[in-house]
Structure 1
Amino acid sequence: MQTVLIVVHLMIVIALVAVVLLQRSEGGALGVGGGSGFMTGRGQANVLTRATGILAALFFVTSLSLTVLAGFGHGQRSILDGNAPAGDSTPAAPAALPPKGEGSVLDQLRKIEEQKASQPVAPAPEAPTGPAPPRGQ
């Protein structure tokens, strides 16, 4: 059923593009829409406008139908209930936050920054003390 609906949907899309391209350009934005053409009369313009509206409505109906069909057979799932994907998906341990009720969020962030600042930091490796290498010319 879904395959048939996809084929119908594609045929509607192709027809919609063709009908839109057949319509007369009113602004002449690219300079190719004026003068004599394939279907330039008012009667033909009304037919093309009506066909565009009908094809657009069919496009929306088939799009919604495909969306509904894609949802069939899939029960309601939660991302929390599903299995974790393969690989290392364990999150890093968050910083210990003070218990709630001990000041505002800014106070809690300041305390965390103070805790990080009080921890010793490993010294950076020293740069070599030899002469600088010559630059290429």
Structure 2
Amino acid sequence: MENIVLTIHLILALALILSVLLQRSEGGGLGIGGGGGGVMSGRPPSTPMAKVTWALAIGFIITSLALTWFATQDSVGSSVIDGVIEQPAGGDSPLLPPTLGGDLTPPAPGGPAVPPPAE
């Protein structure tokens, strides 16, 4: 079910981007763009493309909420802290990459710089 909602969500996102890009610029947002015929009105006229954009936006929000709900259902009863494992006393930490091995300690002060032996 989650995959179906995710697929619908991605299709809605692409359709919403396309519908916004296809709309005629009416200006006003940043003071740039097409003119309004010299008349500044409070609301632009509602075109069919604007209604399609609103419908896509509402669908996008609904699928976003549904995906959030699915994500919370998968994580019920668990915490981020539960996933943290303490470092073992003598071994590598599971949260860090494994060590390379060999002697990687720096040389003594004043001593020669010798590379670590090959394995």
For 1:64 and 1:73, the matched residues in 2 are separated by 14
Give the percent of matched residue pairs that are identical in Structure 1 and Structure 2: 38
For 1:79 and 1:64, the matched residues in 2 are separated by 22
Is contact 2:12-2:59 (8 Å) kept?
A: yes
Between the two structures, name the one with larger relative contact order (CA 8 Å, sep ≥ 6): 2
Corresponding residue SS for 1:24: coil
Counterpart residue type for residue 11 of structure 2: M
- The CA deviation at 1:55 is 0.6
Structure 1 stretches lacking a partner, 5+ long:
35-41, 90-124, 126-137
More helix by percentage: 1
Q: Following superposition of structure 1 onto structure 2, how do residues 31-50 of structure 1 map, counting pairs within 5 Å?
A: 46-50=47-51
- State yes or no: 1:19 paired with 2:19: yes
Rg comparison, structure with higher value: 1
The normalised TM-score by structure 1 is: 0.47
Q: CA, structure 1 residues 66+85, in 2 after alignment: closer, same or farther (shift >3 Å)?
A: farther
For 1:61 and 1:76, the matched residues in 2 are separated by 25
Counterpart residue type for residue 54 of structure 1: A
Structure 2 stretches lacking a partner, 5+ long:
36-43, 88-92, 96-108, 110-119
State how many pairs are aligned: 81
Deviation string 1:38-93 (CA, Å, 9 cap, x unpaired) is xxxx98x610111111110000000010111112232223445555255188xxxx
CA-atom RMSD in angstroms? 3.2
Q: CA, structure 1 residues 81+23, in 2 after alignment: closer, same or farther (shift >3 Å)?
A: closer
For 2:94 and 2:18, the matched residues in 1 are separated by 51
- State yes or no: 1:55 paired with 2:77: no
- The CA deviation at 1:26 is 1.8
Large movers: runs of 4+ above 2 Å? 27-30, 73-83
